[in-house]
């Protein structure tokens, strides 16, 4: 029994970085979002985008980035905050409220990151590898979304708005 407790404690210690414990439930919610909703959407979106705007010339890459950021990104991200709120056990009304409070901040952060990533995505990465490439780049993005959502959770908990 003591050996099991030590192993469990060791595993728990390994989930701590810089004094901050990793929230397994939060990580799981984000992983489910990414694995089920976002990746499926990205696969179909990248295929549609490539059929509609084939090629990797600079003007075409710019057009793809524009279309992605004007249509796909807002469409996809409008569902992230409500998904997270509902997955945390909040009501639909609370989920909509969280989205209203934080959606603009989310898109502002998005526009500072993804257009630059997509310069590479649409000019260098072959279509068959784009979802994988974007999923790697998304590790950093998901940390940003998680932090934004956590700030919203704290505001919800304290009864304030962000």
| Concatenated DSSP letters of 52-74 | HS---SHHHHHHHHHHIIIIIHH
Give yes or no for residue 42 having a pLDDT over 70: yes
Percent pLDDT > 70 in the chain is 86
Query: What distance in Å separates the CA atoms of residue 125 and residue 134, rounded to the nearest whole number?
Result: 10
For 10-14, 63-67, 81-85, which range has the lowest pLDDT when averaged over its residues?
A: 10-14
Mean pLDDT of 2-17: 42
pTM: 0.77
CA 24, 30, 32, 35: dihedral to nearest 10 degrees? -130
pLDDT attached to residue 139:
87
- The token duo for 35 is 């694995």
């Amino acid at each position: 029994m003591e050996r099991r407790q030590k192993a469990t404690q060791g595993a728990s210690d390994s989930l701590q970085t810089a004094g901050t414990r990793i929230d397994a439930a939060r990580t799981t919610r984000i992983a489910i979002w990414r694995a089920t909703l976002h990746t499926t959407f990205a696969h179909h979106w990248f295929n549609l985008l490539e059929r509609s705007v084939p090629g990797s010339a600079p003007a075409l890459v710019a057009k793809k980035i524009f279309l992605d950021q004007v249509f796909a990104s807002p469409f996809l991200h409008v569902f992230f905050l409500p998904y997270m709120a509902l997955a945390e056990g909040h009501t639909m009304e609370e989920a909509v409220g969280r989205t209203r409070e934080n959606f603009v901040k989310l898109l502002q952060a998005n526009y500072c990151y993804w257009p630059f990533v997509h310069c590479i995505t649409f000019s260098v990465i072959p279509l068959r590898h784009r979802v994988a490439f974007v999923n790697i780049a998304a590790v950093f993005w998901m940390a940003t979304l998680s932090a934004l959502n956590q700030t919203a959770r704290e505001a919800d908990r304290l009864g304030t708005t962000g």
